[in-house]
Amino acid sequence: MFSLLLGGLSFATGLVWGRYPSLLQRQFSSNVTYSMNVTDCPGYTLGSITESEYGLTAQLSLAGSACNAFGTDIKDLSIEVTYQSQTTLHVKIYDTANQQFTIPESVIERPAVPTTSFTKSSDLVFNYDASPFAFWITRRSDPDTMPIFDTRVSSLPPTPIPPFNSSDPSTAFDAFPLVFEDQYLQIASALPFGTNIYGLGEVIASSGFRRDIGTNGGVGTIQTHWSRDVGDPIDENVYGSHPIYLEHRFNETTNKSSSSGVLLLSSAGSDIFLQTPPDAKVSLIEYRMIGGILDFYFFSGPTDAEVIAQYGATIGYPTWQPAWGFGFHLCKWGYANISEDMANVAAMRAANIPLEVQWNDIDLYHSYRDFTTDPVSFPGDELREFIQQLAANHQHYIPIVDAGVAVTLNSTDVYYPFSDGLQQ
């Protein structure tokens, strides 16, 4: 439903979104009534387990009648647990029929299948209950301390928990079952009371780098992951989605601190809640997703830097950028014409400020169409000459290219990026 809405909006605004004719011709219907309540969701039961030197695989089956909270419950799931390395544990829960969307390996290449067994030596240990199915991740060196991740209902605060935002009923926690539906996934974990959580970007958080977990006067966090083109709002989702958090905790028994990381590798739209209910002895994190699978990677750290290195080794490191990319850039929406660009460059040179790159936003284009130039404000020949002047001074030029390619309006409308792309 969410993707249909986005597709319809994109088509209505004149943008290409997938194969829009076939999208709009599809018939979306359902004879299922959604309860919009997870209280009656039965969770899952773990079936027979197959162990290997690298981990285990098993089947999960719906433990009772479908609740159909926000979608149709998927009855048969599979779980794969892989001790990926000494420091990384992979837990993947997915529909056995493989119909749910997963991030293609062409987008994010997964770590290779291990050739060394870490099941007996890995820093992290996968533990589970079969009925109802739940799992928790502990450190092998300190199995008695609170787990890094713990989905057992008995470990979480008692429910129901009233909304922590009185004006938003969705901030209530009615129950903590594992929910796996075609349009809704839910899983929660207990966290140490008031622990230190960092990450879950991209966001400008009012609490600073440390996320508000609902203690010490905080109200908790709802972190939406749905990338959107906005400037710098506080406590809202912005340009990127990075569903990883780093937890830093102090162990009073050992008198030592350690960090761990949890990545949910998913591109699905989601809300991630951090909260400590009144009178609770633990805090919690809950994921609510509108699709995909539960594809977790757990990183043992134990230092902050090691967690980030383990994360990078899993999803791949950023492409190395040219040195000039780290220099001083100028960009904004609203440059009136090419003359203003030229004046900016000249003023920077006169002030001895080393400008590496001049940018333009999409007001550079004719009718905001990618790969064109406005014939009045940014004539193509003048823009070409300007770019050549920059290059002669070892400077660079970047035009912003938005993802949406406009559609032609009629048979006389000529726009080759659309027509050529459509033919291919």
Please enumerate in sequence order all residues whose Cβ is within 8 A of that of 1, keeping only pairs 6 or more positions apart, or say none. Answer: 28, 183
Handedness of CA 152, 156, 307, 138 (dihedral sign): negative
For residues 351-365, average pLDDT = 97
The pLDDT of residue 28 is: 52
Of residues 203 and 24, more confidence is placed in 203
407/285 Cα distance (integer angstroms): 43
Q: Give the model confidence (pLDDT) of 372-404 as tens digits.
A: 999 999 999 999 999 999 999 999 999 999 888
For residues 314-332, average pLDDT = 94
Asked whether the predicted pLDDT for residue 44 surpasses 90, the reply is yes
pTM of this structure: 0.85
- Per-residue confidence at 324, pLDDT binned at 50, 70, 90? very high
Q: Give buried/exposed letters for 181-210 (b at 16+ CB in 10 A, else e).
A: bbbbbbbbbbbbeebbbbbbbebebeeeee
Asked whether the predicted pLDDT for residue 3 surpasses 70, the reply is no
Q: With contact defined as beta carbons under 8 Å apart, do 277 and 234 qualify?
A: no
272/274 Cα distance (integer angstroms): 7
Question: Which residues of the chain are in CATH 2.60.40.1760 domains?
Answer: 44-315
Place of tokens 């951090």: 274
Q: Give buried/exposed letters for 45-62 (b at 16+ CB in 10 A, else e).
A: ebeeeeeeebbbebbbeb
The pLDDT of residue 13 is: 38
Asked whether the predicted pLDDT for residue 409 surpasses 80, the reply is yes
Q: Give the model confidence (pLDDT) of 129-156 as tens digits.
A: 999 999 999 999 988 899 999 999 999 9
Percent of the chain with pLDDT over 70: 93
For residues 211-231, average pLDDT = 94
Dihedrals phi, psi of 158, to nearest 5 degrees: -65, 145
Question: Edge-to-edge, what's the strand order for the sheet holding 396-399?
Answer: 328-330, 355-360, 396-399
The pLDDT of residue 17 is: 37
Strand 149-150 to strand 133-139: parallel, antiparallel, or no bridges (unpaired)? antiparallel
Q: What single DSSP character describes residue 163?
A: -
Asked whether the predicted pLDDT for residue 10 surpasses 90, the reply is no
C-alpha R_g of the chain: 25
Which among 178, 156, 211, 174 is positioned nearest to 91, based on CA atoms? 178
C-alpha dist (Å) from residue 103 to 37, 264, 272, 292: 28, 11, 19, 8
Strand 185-192 to strand 133-139: parallel, antiparallel, or no bridges (unpaired)? unpaired
Place of tokens 């559609």: 407
Q: Give the model confidence (pLDDT) of 153-205 as tens digits.
A: 999 999 999 999 889 999 999 999 999 999 999 999 999 999 999 999 999 99
The pLDDT of residue 32 is: 75
Asked whether the predicted pLDDT for residue 30 surpasses 80, the reply is no
For the beta carbon of residue 161, count every other beta carbon within 10 angstroms. 19
4/26 Cα distance (integer angstroms): 10
Render 45-112 in DSSP notation, one character per residue: EEEEEEEETTEEEEEEEE-SS---SSSPBP-EEEEEEEE-SSSEEEEEEEETT--S----TTTSPPPP
The superfamily CATH assigns to domain 44-315 is glycosyl hydrolase (family 31) (2.60.40.1760)
Asked whether the predicted pLDDT for residue 9 surpasses 80, the reply is no
Please enumerate in sequence order all residues whose Cβ is within 8 A of that of 167, keeping only pairs 6 or more positions apart, or say none. Answer: none
Asked whether the predicted pLDDT for residue 346 surpasses 70, the reply is yes
Of residues 355 and 167, more confidence is placed in 355
Place of tokens 């739940």: 134
Longest dimension (CA), the chain: 76
For residues 35-52, average pLDDT = 96
Asked whether the predicted pLDDT for residue 338 surpasses 80, the reply is yes
Q: Give the model confidence (pLDDT) of 224-252 as tens digits.
A: 999 998 889 999 999 999 999 999 999 88
The secondary structure of 180-233, three-state, reads EECCCEEEEEEEECCCEEEEEECCECCCCCECCCCCCCCCCEEEEECCCCCCCC
Q: Give the model confidence (pLDDT) of 255-291 as tens digits.
A: 899 999 999 999 999 999 999 999 999 999 999 999 9
Percent of the chain with pLDDT over 90: 83
Per the prediction, the chain carries an average pLDDT of 92
The pLDDT of residue 29 is: 59
Give the containing element (helix H, strand E) for 247: strand 242-251
The pLDDT of residue 14 is: 41
Q: Is the peptide bond before 375 cis (omega within 30 degrees of 0)?
A: no
